[in-house]
Amino acid sequence: MTGIVKLFRRDVRGTTADTPRRTFIRRALSGYFAKRYPLQDAYADWQAARTTAAAIKFDAVNRLDTHLETFARQAEARGTKVFFASTGAQARDYVLALCREQGVRSIVKAKTMTGEEIHLNEALEKEGYGVVESDLGEYIVQLRKEHPYHFVFPCMHLKRGEIRATFEKALGDVGSDEPENLTMVARRVLRQEFLKADLGISGANFLVAETGQISITENEGNARLTCALPRIHVALVGIEKVVPRFEDLALFLPMLGTAGAGQALTGYNTLYAGPRQPGETDGPEEFHVILLDNHRTRLLADPEQRDALHCIRCGACLNVCPIFKNIGGHAYGTTYQGPIGSVITPHLRGLQDWKHLSGASSLCGACTETCPVKIDLHHHLLQNRRNAVREKGVWWERLLFQGFGLYASHAALWRFGSRLAVPGLKLHSRFSGAWFDPVRLWTKTRTLPRPPERTFRQLWAERQKQKSPRA
């Protein structure tokens, strides 16, 4: 067992035992459900919209090379600097070189999960650059030195009192713990950061291949400020974020808002094409787009799971996932939590180290059903399990299944075994869950049903006997 699994088990034991926090998370999500489903029902046909969105993403991902070349050509024609990074290290080095070359002193960041993925903040801070997260949730978790709990709602696990305590530690007295007041405190502090920053870093939700635009979806306006005020703007984007055409966004923007946040359209959906153009009033002098691979091509090379790259990171699969709701976002130990994280992390960071996430699933399929781009998530979890065993099986599991195969394919063995099972289960019920119980891992938290008196075969035989006199 690797250290990652041990850590996962330890964290999960803690979070599942924390009933008040679990209740809090459920309550926080209830507002999302109350808003999302009526919006979805207002679509002329939500299912058809999903099929259309999936087909557009299918084209985007399966012709990724062409689309990225078009994107780069169009973006460069507008004065955007496009940088392809194979690894997180290359992307970090590029940003660091940019900071040095341009004499950057102050950096403000809008939310970027890709930035989390490559640990960009840590790299910048190590070189002595101060980075301030401007998304309210990200700012809060940054002050707490935590990772985001949910890749759309980063601090949904925190109560207002905890957030006030965090602010007081960092900023001094902040007054009441009302969300309104705490938000205004952050607004005042971060406004000053926006005004002094000379570099703004953001992610992007979509790359429009045809026009070389990036599209950013947000509610707060912090990304708008990040892309308006600093003299340099860098967008860090995964290569899979492509859509082929400008008009495709007329479908993706509302679907992202609906599935992601229960909003018909999120507050600001903004397309950027290049730095400030001739004749424009303001905007950055330089605009850089970093297109990041970082093992996405490994996932691309798997024809069975390639559709996981359709993901638009709406987070809906987390919100509906019974596992996420019970173990919480931090226990995953990944940048991307929930079902989509469990599917893609083994590809991004290694199957053997992260295969346990595919096991931590009830395979209920709620994720697949809710996904706006129809990613076959729960089947991918099964495929990860299969691939992990194929690549490196466990000898005793193999032996167990071979034994079961033998047992189940020989009638006499089956008859003998099931007859033994009745007294066996009765005996087991006396020490179920005790320290010497061989299946204690399972029985310590579960109670087996009362063992039956007779096997199915015995019942069947009796029934036939009762029937036969009349026949």
Partner 1 sequence: MSYPPSDKAAVLTRIREALRLPARVPHQDSHAPSFPALPGKEEIGRWLPAVGAGYEERVALFARQAAALKADFVRLPALDAVPSHLAALAQAEGWPADGIASHPGEHSASLVEKAGFRPFLALPGYDRAKLESCAASVTACEALIAQTGSVLVTTRESGGRALTILPPHHIVVATRDQLVPDLPAAFARLRQAYGGTFPSMISFITGPSRTGDIERILVLGAHGPKKLTILFVG
Distance of closest approach, residue 116 Cβ to partner 1, in angstroms: 16
CA 330 to chain centre: 11
Calculate the alpha carbon distances from 273 to 75, 141, 207, 226, 390 in Å.
Answer: 7, 31, 10, 15, 46
* Angstrom distance (rounded) from CA 89 to CA 112: 16
Site string for partner 1, 143-162 (x = CB under 8 A): ----------xxxx-xxx--
Closest CB 103 distance from partner 1, rounded Å: 13
264 binds partner 1 (CB under 8 A): yes
* Bridge partner list, 214: 207, 272
By CB under 8 A, name the one of 4, 8, 36, 64 that touches partner 1. Answer: 64
Buried b (16+ CB within 10 A) or exposed e, 218-244: bebebbbbbbbbbbbbbbbbbbbbbbb
Minimum CB distance to partner 1 smaller for 117 or for 135: 135
Q: How far is it, in rounded angstroms, from Cα 221 to Cα 313? A: 19
Q: How far apart are CA 32 and CA 259, in angstroms?
A: 9
Helix (H) or strand (E) holding 289: strand 286-292
Q: Least Å distance between CB 1 and partner 1? A: 31
Number of residues that bind partner 1 (CB under 8 A): 116
Which 189-218 positions form the footprint of partner 1 (CB under 8 A)? 190-191, 195, 211, 213
Tokens of 130: 């101060």
Please identify, using beta-carbon distances, which residue of 9 and 63 lies nearer to partner 1.
63
Q: Measured between alpha carbons, how far apart are the two ends of the chain, in Å?
A: 60
Near partner 1 by CB under 8 A, which window of 40-48, 120-128, 392-400, 417-425?
40-48
Q: How far is residue 432's CA from residue 443's CA, in Å, rounded to a whole number?
A: 6
Q: Which stretch binds partner 1 (CB under 8 A): 68-76, 117-125, 326-334, 423-431?
A: 68-76
Distance of alpha carbon 303 from alpha carbon 78, whole angstroms:
35
Closest separation in Å from C-beta 247 to partner 1 = 5
If the CB atoms of residues 179 and 423 are measured against partner 1, the closer one turns out to be 179
**Residue of the chain from 5, 54, 363, 425 that contacts partner 1 (CB under 8 A):** 54
- Binding residue (CB under 8 A) for partner 1 from 18, 21, 62, 165: 62
CB of 352 to partner 1, least distance (A): 21
CB of 402 to partner 1, least distance (A): 28
215-254 positions binding partner 1, by CB under 8 A: 219-222, 224-225, 227-229, 239, 244-251, 253-254
